[in-house]
Amino acid sequence: MTFETDRPPSWQVCVTCGNELTESDSHARCPTCGGLLEIAHRPPDMTRAELLLRFTERRGRPPGAAAASGVWRFREFVLPSAEEVVSYPEGNTPLLHREVLDRWTGLVGLLLKHEGHNPTGSFKDRGMTVGVTQARRIGARAVACASTGNTSASLAAYAAQAGIPALVLVPSGNVASGKLAQSLAYGARTLLVRGGFDDCLRLVQEASERLGVYLLNSINPFRIEGQKTIVLELLQQLTWDPPDWIVLPAGNLGNTAAFGKALREAHAWGLITRLPRLAAVQAAGAAPFARSFEEGFKRRHRVTPDTVASAIRIGDPASHDRAVRAIRETDGVVLAVTDAQILEAKAAVDACGVGCEPASAASIAGARELVRRGTIAGGARVVAVLTGHLLKDPETLLQYHGQADPLPPGANRPVEIEADLREVERFLGKE
Ligand code: F0G
């Protein structure tokens, strides 16, 4: 099969007005209308079988080779023109099954795509390897982002690897300590902003424009290209036989947008013949997208967010429009789960030895809720994405297990004793 070749391999398109920019344009948004940008690729000049063979061959390359990265293995979908990449490498995350979670959710064969296995402990590394690669290609002097903690940890690590100074803005007092520690350790200049994530994002957009710093929030379309590989990799793990549902937590909606784009392209390029349905799960205290979904996406909402899942404590998601398209095209759903549901799901994921951070558990709580409502059939093939590692947020964890009254489901309270064998015996006797 041959395709038109009068275009470069990739270019940028404004999702609002259709304005086209070159791949190397560094604008954070469309310079004409302020809309979000998206990367368009010329479909590769090869058959489905040839493309799949390439993906398989690269998977077998020695670990450490850029082509073996779970992102760059799919480079035709990501950034085909990139020759030198800033890669850890990342991706290659496991697809897990735990019977306990089947019983807990009411599903059979629920699979967990555990993105906490990425180098900095979250899926953000998949987008950041592409974002920082692009920053280096265009000669960015510095890079910046606003974050609830994971994006900043990832940006700090990849910028350090590329030798580019990084600036991160995070909500003061509202970032889990594991994430803040990473940002400091990797050497990013870290600003603790007295405000929420939405304030940080507004501020960093203004600052990056004023100071000429390259913006690497998920409004950056190159980040989205990297995050698409969560879906591509899980499809490859399932030998390109798509599941019925993919469930993911949703905050700023970059990932929901990325999943939609990955599925759209995988379908258009003939890799899959059927689209899984997306289920985007928000925390009830930060659920503007779920509210909008309930109204048939007639209106965009903005809320003052409040949830224990600090990663998704976001009231005005930047990728709203792109995510609406993802939900519509996949016949998807959006729902909200309470903090109690999130924490109970997290305790269940942790107790089976897998573990994840609170926001990630929203997908498990959401899967259970959708089965309960009858939206997802008990026999459906479901993949739930765990977005971040258990050790990201030790405070929430210790608070949950240390709590006495009422004792939450699955709580494992520590007991303090004197350094005396009789106390150990007394404790075991009680057990
Ligand atoms: N899960 C985790 C662990 C996250 O860190 C985030 C977002 C999400 C889910 C939601 O993804 O924003 O694409 O809808 N964290 C961003 C950050 C906002 O700054 O680290 P989304």
Query: With a 6 A CB cut-off, is 205 part of the ligand 1 pocket?
Result: no
- 247 has a pLDDT exceeding 60: yes
For the chain, percent of residues with pLDDT exceeding 90: 91
Mean pLDDT value of segment 279-291: 98
Whole-model pTM? Answer: 0.97
Q: Which atom of ligand 1 is nearest to the CA of 149?
A: 20
- pLDDT tens track for 363-397: 999 999 999 999 999 899 999 999 999 999 999 99
Spell out the long-range contacts of 295-303 with Cβ–Cβ below 8 A and sequence spacing 24 or more. Answer: 297/324, 297/327, 297/328, 302/198
Average pLDDT, the chain: 95
The pick from 114, 124, 126, 253 for probing ligand 1's pocket by mutation, whose C-beta has the most ligand atoms within 8 angstroms, reads 124
Interacting residues of 220 by C-beta distance below 8 A, sequence separation 6+ = 28, 131
Domains in the chain (CATH in brackets) are 95-120+223-402 (3.40.50.1100)
CB 177 within 8 Å of CB 394: yes
Q: How many CB atoms lie within 10 A of CB 343?
A: 24
pLDDT at position 66 is 85
CB 103 within 8 Å of CB 80: no
Query: With a 6 A CB cut-off, is 255 part of the ligand 1 pocket?
Result: yes
- 27 has a pLDDT exceeding 80: yes
Mean pLDDT value of segment 162-184: 98
Rounded Cα distance between 178 and 127, Å, is: 20
Q: How confident is the model at residue 3 (pLDDT cuts 50, 70, 90)?
A: very low
- 47 has a pLDDT exceeding 60: yes
Residues in the chain: 431
Peptide bond before 94: cis, by omega within 30 degrees of 0?
A: no
- 2 has a pLDDT exceeding 50: no
Determine the distance separating the centroid of ligand 1 and the alpha carbon of 360, expressed in angstroms: 9
Written as one letter, the residue type at 90 is E
For ligand 1, atom 6: residue with the closest CA: 311
Q: How confident is the model at residue 248 (pLDDT cuts 50, 70, 90)?
A: very high
CA angle 374, 380, 381 (to 5 degrees): 145
- 323 has a pLDDT exceeding 50: yes
